[in-house]
Amino acid sequence: MIKYFLKRVSLTAALVLVFGSATAIPIYGTNDPANNSAEVTVDSPSSSQLLIEVENTSNFGAIITSFAFSLFDGLANSLVTVSGTQDDSGWNFSSDADSGNGTFNLNLESYAITGNNVNGGDPQSGIAVATIGLFDFGGTFGPNFGITEIFVRWQQTGMDGEGSDYGSVICADGDSCTTVSEPGTLALFGLGLAALGLFRRRRKI
């Protein structure tokens, strides 16, 4: 039993080190949270790169046509590449996007949109159900960066595909929504190595 536990601890620590500690942030539709949903994962591999992964976890045929966000200890200023969507070249970047006919009162820093504004995006360029869009942003990102607010827009929602929805998450601070690096992660990895070393030493004895 002890041997099994030591193996499990060391394996968990190794997996944390390889895959990092980025946290998927769930977002649900305001009008139909049961059927319109998304998961947003954020990572910053360097001080000039921000990767945002948006997965459409909705039911039926809902399409994500735009999303917006604000950052703690960071600022995005361009959308470098997009992959995994219906039309990667159909996405645009804006730091002051028109929310569209006053439908949404947004005060966010950065936008990725498939049209002229958040309200009127193009579903043919969006993120389909069970699809993950990966967005690579350029900018300046500090060591303690995190997402403080996220907005997601769905179109063609519902069984008939004629609805629309939106959802947002507001966090107390950057660390509330995203966990990019933690001292606890390093401590867990160290515990795993120590346990693995102890296990190997006991086997030799």
Q: What is the pLDDT of residues 12-21, one digit of tens each?
A: 333 233 224 5
Locate 59 and state its tokens. Answer: 């039911």
The full set of domain ranges for the chain reads: 1-21+183-205, 23-180
Closest among 44, 52, 48, 46 to 24, alpha carbons compared: 52
pLDDT (average), residues 189-205: 48
CB 25 within 8 A of CB 200: no
pLDDT band per the 50, 70, 90 thresholds, residue 205:
low
Question: Across all residues in the chain, what is the average pLDDT?
Answer: 79
pLDDT tens readout for residues 116-129: 888 889 999 999 99
Does 7 have pLDDT greater than 50?
no
Give 26-67 pLDDT, tens digit per residue: 999 999 999 999 999 999 999 999 999 999 999 999 999 999
**CA 195/CA 189 separation, integer angstroms:** 10
**Which residue(s) pair with 133 in the sheet?**
54
pLDDT at position 154, please? 97
CATH tag, 23-180: 2.60.40
Q: Whole-prediction pTM value?
A: 0.76
What does the radius of gyration of the chain's CA atoms come to, in whole angstroms? 20
- Let me know the angle formed at the C-alpha of 79 by 57 and 49, rounded to the nearest 5 degrees: 90
| C-alpha to C-alpha distance for 134 and 110, rounded to whole angstroms | 15
